[in-house]
Chains A and B, each alone.
Chain A
Amino acid sequence: MIEFRNVSKRFGPVVALNSVNMEFSAGNITGIFGPNGAGKSTIMKLIAGINYPDQGDVKLDGENPRAKRQSVAYLPEIDHLYPWWTLRQAADFISTFYSDWDYGRYKELLPFLNLDEQMIMGKISKGQRAKCKLLLVLARKAPYLLLDEPFSGIDLLTREEIADAVIKGYREGEQAIIISTHEIDEIESLVEKVVFIDQGRIQLSGDAEQLRMERNKSLVEIMKEVFRHGNQQI
């Protein structure tokens, strides 16, 4: 389980997170939705142990995230793969770092994502690079999988391939996947739990099916409603 208790984080004068409380449990796919600059990536980085809270606690299975880095597979928003690497070289590199590397899963997802091991990171399209990044995190048996903006700037067909691969790669019951995005359309039916965040605060969170039932609205419509009303607590 991942727990946030009264977590605040600033970057200079900018408040990225403001007294955030939430929990993520294993066996769920959670969507963190919000506009650019809402605090989504900050949440991801705190869980990944890359940033630390100014106030409050982030706990991963009761421990400091820095001590649990082996439990987290993190797909960052930026391109973190060396441009001269082939996909195979990137995979070899990552597999030496993480004991949970699953070569079988890697081999299985390669053709599923229409990827080739000999592809050179600096020479392929943005969409193909996004799929490579996804493959490299899905091939780990990590209990926590963080996908930070996996769809941003990616064409529609590739987005669908990414969504399909997430379902195929998802280890039900034993894995928590957290996806941050401002493009909800692609993953309406993928997420079970949702957190709507804006200006560093959680505006609404809950069970996706429950929210649909209560409001007769899609998550996209709910997001528009929530962010239009600003800081209303629901």
Chain B
Amino acid sequence: MDFDNSQPIYMQIIDEYKKNIIRSKLKKGDKIPSQREYAQMVRVNPNTVQRAYREMENMDMVETLRGQGTFISAGEQMREQMAKEMAGKVMKHFIHEMRSLGYEDAMIMDMLKCELEPMEEGEQVDRV
């Protein structure tokens, strides 16, 4: 995993787990790597990983069972809620950036449609 070094790394670790849960790559009951394994895997300070895991435990995303490891504890309801939250954040950011470029909402809608249509048919259109 490549980190964006201009953002807190522990948050990016949490977001990565959220995405995997949202896309159902990780499901309730799945075991995830230990903090030490994960730190070595992604080359990150073990204390940073500890912080991410602790926060995920506080959010009830994961639970650590003594002597057994850490497991996903987020169920379907939480999955839906996280998906909504993350998608909402992306949309807000997108809209904010477009508006700051001076685009009106109607234009943003048109551009979105325009961009999405060719992708629906599975082809990529290069635009300049």
Closest B residue to A214 by beta carbon equals: B8
Contact of B5 among A160, A170, A212 (CB under 8 A): A212
User: Chain B interface: which size bin?
Assistant: 20 to 34
Q: Which of A182-234 contact B (CB under 8 A)?
A: 188-192, 209, 212-213, 215-221
Decide yes or no whether B47 CB sits under 8 A from chain A.
yes
Once bound together, how far apart are the Cα atoms of A160 and B42, in whole Å? 11
- Contacts of A216 on B, CB cut-off 8 Å? 6-7
- Do A172 and B5 have beta carbons less than 8 Å apart? no
A191's partner among B6, B45, B46, B51 (CB-CB below 8 A) is B45
The answer to whether B10 and A188 have CB atoms under 8 Å apart is no
Any chain B CB within 8 A of the CB of A115?
no
A193 to B104, CA, bound (A): 44
Contact partners of A189 in chain B: CB under 8 A: 3, 5, 9, 42-45, 48
Within 8 A of B (CB), among A123-181: 160, 163-164, 167-168, 170, 172
Q: A29-B45, A172-B46, A189-B48 are in contact. Are A167 and B40 (CB under 8 A)?
A: yes
A167 and B39 form a contact (CB under 8 A): yes
* B40–A192 CB distance below 8 A: no
Q: Is B6 a contact of A221 with CB atoms below 8 Å?
A: yes
Residue A8 interfacial (CB < 8 Å): no
Tell me the B35-76 residues at the A interface (CB within 8 Å).
Answer: 36, 39-40, 42-48, 50-51
Q: Which residues of A contact B (CB under 8 A)?
A: 27-29, 160, 163-164, 167-168, 170, 172, 188-192, 209, 212-213, 215-221
Q: Which residues on B are within 8 Å of A, measured CB to CB?
A: 3-10, 36, 39-40, 42-48, 50-51
Given contacts A167-B40, A188-B5, 16 further A-B contacts (CB under 8 A): A28-B47, A29-B45, A29-B47, A170-B46, A188-B3, A189-B3, A189-B43, A189-B45, A189-B48, A190-B43, A190-B44, A192-B48, A209-B10, A212-B7, A217-B6, A221-B6
Show 23 residue pairs from A and B whose CB-CB distance is below 8 angstroms, ordered by the A residue.
A27-B47, A28-B47, A29-B45, A29-B47, A164-B40, A167-B44, A167-B45, A167-B46, A172-B46, A172-B47, A172-B50, A189-B43, A189-B44, A190-B44, A190-B45, A191-B45, A209-B10, A209-B51, A212-B7, A212-B8, A213-B7, A216-B6, A217-B6
